[in-house]
């Protein structure tokens, strides 16, 4: 959460930083700010999105070749001009931006207050900055040295970028627990929370590790650990094109990402799934296939939409591999002293690869001897690096805050892993295995078919947009799809929505059903179909409005529903990749119909790097 950008080099820094901040706005948009070096430090900041800052500083002096910028997701202190970053130190000579939380800031703040410091904001960031300034003053040392000393006292997570009026071309950066990428140009360097701000200038990047500090000048990048020892930067080549992070003619990133799914699922299967040869090749899994086959238990750890993917995978792994699976919210798992036994395999699922709870949960499990496999979208991210092995989802950058294409790509990867293990373990017969490989390979085309109903879904959105609550129901493989549909609607339309297992409805939520309640039922043809149809009858008997996701040709179910969303028939193992798509579109169009910024829903951030 929070997006950070830095630039030092021959270009004017401000346009590079503002463009970079717009690319990182998915990480938070409570306030925006920039600091520029131009003889003296100039700081401009404002509550609101990047565009609001731009409007507010038209006509100001924005020159400078070194600068930093920040887009905030508030933790300490409400969104306001005063709490916006960059913060300036008491002397005015240092400016700093921060992503993360300084947990012991209250104690540090008290120490500084005792020394006479006063604070302009409520943020932990301003405390850390003045703590650094105090060390610099007392020790008569460089900013770099002061940062090193300060960080040894700090608990919590951070990426910080600092400017010092006395070192006009230098940016000091440090990270622990939040992401930081440095792009290497010709006589210039770029810094960012991810690589998107630098993509059009360079493909050469360094991912900074925890407890590393970077001294960044136009033509020099020095990396050190907190013990002041130099580290050789590991330069990697980015494999992303600029088009992947632009809207490409779509009104929103979310819509673009929904429509990318036929390609992203295909990209995910490509080179791994060989239907003719009957093989699945996943090099990052192969090495650990034995441990997975022998595992007593697989624990899926994730948050949000990725957790829903884990729930679908639970059904698939138990069915195909006959291995006991548990699905855990990372935030609960990390704090409850879970029992990790030898032979346990953890699968961490994360789009960003930076979710703080998931990261810490797998670090803890790894320390206790578990094998960690990551199913991650962002290449080189922290979760990918902490994992022993795993598989990337290859969905490309997902910018819309509501996750869509990452979910279906996660399902594709998890299904391939389950099929591979089941095949190697002998828990699936050849015919079923070959059938499922074919079913999987047909998913991209079938998703393409679902997307053709977008106009119909848009009309439905108009019809239901004013509902106060929604209920989403599904059973078996489609129960997590119901949860995901409800989450999408909540996130971008702010309508209260609950996802429930269809059969559980009669144990409570049925009390909500009346003629005003739209109930979205995922009722595709699978082993539970008749049971779900009975649940639909129960809702209709109480005058509820039923919008059902049904399989093509299922006229009987269509006849008892108010509205239907049709998906092609598919094996129940791959069906969630299809049935979720109309729910993504329904949420999207309702959000748009209500006039909300669906790419940047209120209070949310794309990458949750605080706990
Ligand atoms: O990057 P991750 O997959 O680890 O993120 C997990 C959740 O924060 C994420 O899925 C969140 O729930 C999305 N906003 C859902 O649309």
Please list, in sequence order, all residues whose beta carbon lies within 8 angstroms of the beta carbon of residue 328, skipping any fewer than 6 positions away. Answer: 299, 300, 301, 302, 338, 361
CA nearest to 24, candidates 51, 43, 3: 3
Please list, in sequence order, all residues whose beta carbon lies within 8 angstroms of the beta carbon of residue 198, skipping any fewer than 6 positions away. Answer: 20, 181, 183, 185, 190, 192, 205
Sign of CA dihedral 37, 40, 41, 45: negative
Q: Where is 537: in which H helix or E strand?
A: helix 529-541
H-type alpha helices, 295-429:
304-321, 330-333, 356-367, 382-386, 405-425
Q: Is 606 a catalytic residue?
A: yes
pLDDT number for residue 269: 94
Q: What is the mean pLDDT of residues 143-164?
A: 94
Please list, in sequence order, all residues whose beta carbon lies within 8 angstroms of the beta carbon of residue 174, skipping any fewer than 6 positions away. Answer: 147, 151, 158, 159, 160, 212, 213, 214
Residue 99 to residue 131: CA distance in whole angstroms: 17
Residue 609 has pLDDT above 80, yes or no: no
Residue 528 to residue 572: CA distance in whole angstroms: 10
C-alpha distances in angstroms, 509 versus 248, 304, 440?
42, 22, 34
| pLDDT confidence band for 342 (50 / 70 / 90) | confident
Report helix angle 405-425 to 430-451, nearest 10.
Answer: 170
Q: What is the mean pLDDT of residues 387-403?
A: 93
Q: Which residue has its alpha carbon closest to ligand 1 atom 8?
A: 304
Residue 475 has pLDDT above 80, yes or no: yes
pLDDT number for residue 291: 93
Contact of 312 with 325, CB cutoff 8 Å: no
Residue 595 to residue 341: CA distance in whole angstroms: 50
Q: What is the mean pLDDT of residues 41-68?
A: 95
User: Which two three-digit tokens encode residue 335?
Assistant: 């704090």
Rounded to 5 degrees, φ, ψ at 54 are -55, -45
Beta bridge pairs of residue 164: 94, 167
Rounded to 5 degrees, φ, ψ at 155 are -110, 145
Please list, in sequence order, all residues whose beta carbon lies within 8 angstroms of the beta carbon of residue 324, skipping any fewer than 6 positions away. Answer: 296, 297, 298, 318
CA nearest to 437, candidates 425, 452, 420, 458: 420
Q: Report the atom number in ligand 1 closest to the C-alpha of 608.
A: 8
Residue 410 to residue 391: CA distance in whole angstroms: 9
Residue 611 has pLDDT above 80, yes or no: no
Contact of 587 with 493, CB cutoff 8 Å: yes
C-alpha distances in angstroms, 66 versus 21, 169, 180?
15, 6, 18
Q: Where is 37: in which H helix or E strand?
A: strand 31-38
pLDDT number for residue 604: 82
pLDDT number for residue 357: 92
Mutate to test the pocket of ligand 1, among 305, 387, 399 (most ligand atoms within 8 A of CB): 305
Q: What is the mean pLDDT of residues 331-348?
A: 90
| pLDDT confidence band for 233 (50 / 70 / 90) | very high
- Cis before 86? omega within 30: yes
Q: Is 475 exposed, middle or buried (0-12, 13-18, 19+ CB in 10 A)?
A: buried
Residue 607 has pLDDT above 80, yes or no: no
Q: What is the mean pLDDT of residues 18-41?
A: 91
User: Cα Rg for the chain, rounded, in angstroms?
Assistant: 25
pLDDT number for residue 427: 97
Q: Ligand 1 center to residue 262 CA distance, Å?
A: 21
| pLDDT confidence band for 25 (50 / 70 / 90) | confident
Q: What is the percent of the chain where pLDDT is above 90?
A: 84
pLDDT number for residue 313: 98
Residue 505 has pLDDT above 90, yes or no: no
350 lines ligand 1 (CB under 6 A): yes
Residue 254 has pLDDT above 80, yes or no: yes
Question: Hey, how many other C-beta atoms are within 10 angstroms of the C-beta on 495?
Answer: 20
608 lines ligand 1 (CB under 6 A): yes
Q: Ligand 1 center to residue 606 CA distance, Å?
A: 7
Residue 606 has pLDDT above 80, yes or no: no
C-alpha distances in angstroms, 194 versus 285, 397, 438, 543?
26, 10, 36, 49
Residue 586 has pLDDT above 80, yes or no: yes
Residue 342 to residue 351: CA distance in whole angstroms: 28
Q: What is the mean pLDDT of residues 267-296?
A: 92
Q: What is the mean pLDDT of residues 537-543?
A: 93
pLDDT number for residue 509: 86
pLDDT number for residue 317: 97
437 lines ligand 1 (CB under 6 A): no
Domains and CATH numbers, the chain: 3-243 (3.60.20.10), 249-441 (3.40.50.10490), 448-600 (3.40.50.10490)
For the entire predicted model, the pTM comes to: 0.80
352 lines ligand 1 (CB under 6 A): yes
Contact of 424 with 561, CB cutoff 8 Å: no
Average pLDDT, the chain: 94
Q: What is the mean pLDDT of residues 588-601?
A: 94
Q: Ligand 1 center to residue 569 CA distance, Å?
A: 28
Residue 304 to residue 483: CA distance in whole angstroms: 10
pLDDT number for residue 178: 82
pLDDT number for residue 28: 79
Catalytic residue among 47, 256, 600, 606: 606
pLDDT in tens, 49-58: 999 999 999 9
pLDDT number for residue 410: 98
Q: Where is 283: in which H helix or E strand?
A: helix 283-286
Q: Report the atom number in ligand 1 closest to the C-alpha of 606.
A: 14
């Amino acid at each position: 959460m929070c997006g950070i950008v830095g630039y030092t080099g021959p270009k004017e820094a401000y346009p590079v930083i503002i463009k970079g901040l717009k690319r990182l706005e998915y990480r938070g948009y409570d306030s925006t700010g920039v600091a520029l070096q131009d003889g003296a430090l100039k700081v401009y900041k404002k509550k609101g999105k990047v565009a609001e800052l731009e409007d507010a500083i038209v006509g100001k002096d924005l020159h400078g070749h070194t600068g930093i910028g920040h887009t905030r997701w508030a933790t300490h202190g409400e969104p306001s001009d005063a709490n916006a970053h960059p913060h300036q130190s008491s002397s005015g000579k240092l400016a700093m931006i921060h992503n993360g939380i300084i947990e012991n800031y209250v104690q540090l703040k008290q120490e500084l207050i005792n020394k006479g410091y006063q604070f302009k904001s409520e943020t932990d960031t301003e405390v850390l900055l003045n703590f650094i300034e105090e060390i610099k003053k007392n020790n008569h040392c460089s900013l770099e040295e002061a940062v090193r000393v300060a960080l040894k006292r700090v608990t919590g997570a951070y990426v910080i970028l600092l400017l010092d009026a006395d070192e006009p071309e230098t940016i000091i950066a440090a990270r622990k627990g939040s992401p930081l990428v440095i792009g290497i140009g010709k006589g210039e360097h770029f810094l960012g929370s991810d690589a998107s701000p630098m993509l059009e200038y360079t493909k050469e990047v360094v991912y900074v590790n925890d407890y590393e500090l970077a001294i960044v000048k136009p033509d020099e990048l020095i990396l050190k650990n907190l013990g002041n020892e130099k580290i050789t930067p590991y330069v990697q080549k980015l494999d992303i094109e600029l088009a992947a992070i632009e809207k490409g003619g779509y009104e929103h990133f979310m819509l673009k990402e929904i429509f990318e799914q036929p390609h992203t699922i295909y990209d995910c299967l490509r080179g791994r799934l060989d239907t003719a040869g009957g093989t699945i090749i996943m090099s990052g899994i192969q090495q650990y296939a034995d441990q997975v086959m022998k595992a007593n238990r697989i624990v899926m750890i994730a948050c949000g939409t990725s957790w829903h993917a884990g729930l679908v995978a639970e059904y698939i792994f138990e069915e195909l591999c006959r291995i006991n699976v548990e699905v855990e919210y990372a935030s609960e798992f990390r704090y409850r002293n879970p029992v990790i036994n030898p032979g346990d395999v953890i699968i961490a699922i994360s789009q960003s690869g930076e979710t703080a709870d998931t990261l810490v949960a797998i670090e803890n499990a790894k320390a206790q001897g578990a094998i960690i496999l990551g199913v991650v979208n962002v290449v080189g991210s922290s979760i990918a690096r902490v994992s022993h092995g795993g598989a990337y989802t290859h969905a490309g950058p997902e910018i819309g805050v509501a996750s869509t294409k990452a979910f279906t790509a996660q399902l594709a990867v998890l299904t391939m892993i389950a099929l591979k293990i089941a095949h190697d373990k002998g828990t699936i017969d050849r015919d079923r295995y070959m059938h499922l490989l074919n079913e999987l390979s047909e998913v991209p085309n079938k998703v393409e078919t679902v997307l053709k109903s977008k106009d119909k879904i848009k009309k439905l959105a108009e019809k239901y947009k004013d509902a106060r609550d929604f209920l989403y129901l599904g059973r078996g493989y489609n129960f997590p799809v119901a949860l995901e549909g409800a989450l999408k609607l909540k996130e971008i339309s702010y309508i209260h929505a609950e996802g429930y297992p269809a059969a559980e409805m009669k144990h409570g939520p049925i009390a909500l059903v009346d003629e005003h309640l739209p109930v979205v039922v995922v009722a595709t043809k699978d082993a539970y179909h008749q049971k779900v149809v009975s649940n639909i009858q129960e809702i209709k008997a109480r005058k509820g409005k039923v919008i059902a996701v049904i399989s093509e040709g299922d006229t009987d179910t269509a006849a008892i529903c108010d509205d239907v969303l049709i998906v092609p028939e598919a094996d129940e193992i791959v069906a969630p990749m299809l049935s979720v798509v109309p729910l993504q579109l329904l949420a999207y169009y309702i959000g748009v119909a209500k006039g909300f910024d669906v790419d940047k829903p209120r209070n949310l951030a794309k990458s949750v790097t605080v706990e």
